[in-house]
Structure 1
Amino acid sequence: MARRSTLKTEVPKAILAEFNARLIDDGFSDYTGMTDWLNSRLSETGLELKIGRSAVYRHGRAFQEEFEADMAESRQLYHVAKASLESNDDPEGVVREATIRALQTRLLKLAVALREAEEAGDDPHLLAETTAKIAKAVADLGRADIASRKFNAEREKEIRAEERAAAAEAATDAGRKSGVSPEGIAAIRAAIASRMMQ
């Protein structure tokens, strides 16, 4: 069973969030100063809790790894979305797909964290409630993914229909200018439509 961080188990969430923000601002350095700040902050709130530099350092390193992984994931999603936007005429669909993939990654991370909390002996009622929420989120995400795929398929049909209409119109104009009979133009349009349906 993995050892739980003292900061995560004993430091109030609001102070921990403030501490994590300071870690980021300070570039994950000066752990002695960060330890002093944290202990001073805990003392201000009346908590008789003293956190050692090694615990601050372990938490800082673990948090830095999570932070850098999240930033790398964000950059990757940004580049995927940017590349897709440049080669796609459906920017909303690209953003929607990127959002769904990001949420799937987040839910997987939550499930792993939940398993770790369970192994550490956290409140079983809270774990059950959280598991139910994650299951609902996964189901909602699945429905959103299906709806997105359906939307993309319908959009693709519309685009193909527009392309067929434009090609048929161009062939009609060219046929008229070349003196093709109305029957010949109709045959050309039918041939274009049948080819583009394949």
Structure 2
Amino acid sequence: MPPPKKLDLIPEELRRWLAEELRDRGFSDIVSVTDALNGRIAAEGLEIRVGKSAVGDFSKALKDQREAFALADVLLSDLDIEREGDIHRVLMQMIANSAVHMIQNVRDNDGHLEPKDLMSLGRMLKDLMASSGMREKLLEDERKRLVRETREAREAEMEEALEATAKEAGLDGAMLDRLRRGVLGLRA
């Protein structure tokens, strides 16, 4: 088992500060951010020194994750179905996080993919495929709902128009019901 990364040994507050600092600087200026981080670590009284390659790797992982979330938001923002968006957002976040961790693991282990990581990749793909099926079902349900609501609105308009016309023409209730059933196919 490889030793823990130095960034994993620093307090969570410092990792959050590092993530915010990298975002604020556009994921660049790694040397300056590394110096500032090491200054904060020393101020905390810790005897750890983090290298710029570790900060650079962390920056790349954050940037990759941010881009994955941004892409998911763009893709999902075009959808009108709020529930579908929520489902896909959660799923995309899970997949993006898993993919970032897997990429880091493969990079750290000289490109070697462990069987359990391969199984995780398979699960991610399975989840994505299940999500696609769910998305198609939600879209089809939404299409059916829109068609049904449109049909019901048209029927209501036709019913109103029929009643107004029947009243103007002086037709009785029996004739109105007959017109509803025979001509328009509306419910009595």
Could you say which TM-score interval applies, normalised by the shorter chain?
A: 0.5 to 0.7
Taking only aligned residues, the RMSD between alpha carbons, in angstroms, comes to 4.2
Sort the Cα spacing of 1:72 and 1:7 in 2 relative to 1 into closer, same or farther, 3 A.
Answer: farther
Q: Give the distance between the partners of 2:104 and 2:54, measured in 1 at CA.
A: 19
Q: Give the distance between the partners of 1:157 and 1:36, measured in 2 at CA.
A: 63
Residue pairs, 1:1-198, within 5 angstroms = 6=5, 8-78=7-77, 80-81=78-79, 84=80, 94-109=81-96, 160-190=151-181, 191-194=183-186
**Matched-pair identity in %:** 22
Shift of 1:34: 0.4
Q: Deviations over 1:65-112 (max 9, x none)?
A: 11122122223322x14xx3xxxxxxxxx3222112212222334555
Shift of 1:41: 1.1
Q: Which amino acid aligns with 2:84?
A: E
Q: Which amino acid aligns with 1:51?
A: V
Q: Deviations over 1:138-184 (max 9, x none)?
A: 9xxx9xx8xxx6x9678976775454333212222123334545333
TM-score by length of 2: 0.63
Asked if 1 retains the 8 angstrom alpha-carbon contact of 2:30 and 2:55, the reply is yes
Unmatched segments (≥5 aa) in structure 1 = 85-93, 121-137
With 96-105 and 19-28 compared, the bigger mean Cα shift is at: 96-105
Unmatched segments (≥5 aa) in structure 2 = 109-126
Asked if 1 retains the 8 angstrom alpha-carbon contact of 2:61 and 2:100, the reply is no
Q: Give the distance between the partners of 1:193 and 1:110, measured in 2 at CA.
A: 55
| Length, aligned pairs only | 163
Shift of 1:10: 2.5
Q: Give the distance between the partners of 2:4 and 2:162, measured in 1 at CA.
A: 71
Sort the Cα spacing of 1:42 and 1:54 in 2 relative to 1 into closer, same or farther, 3 A.
Answer: same
TM-score by length of 1: 0.60
Q: Give the distance between the partners of 2:145 and 2:4, measured in 1 at CA.
A: 50
Aligned to 2:119: none
Query: SS of 1:176's equivalent?
Result: helix
Asked if 2 retains the 8 angstrom alpha-carbon contact of 1:5 and 1:55, the reply is no
Shift of 1:63: 1.4
Q: Give the distance between the partners of 2:170 and 2:4, measured in 1 at CA.
A: 83
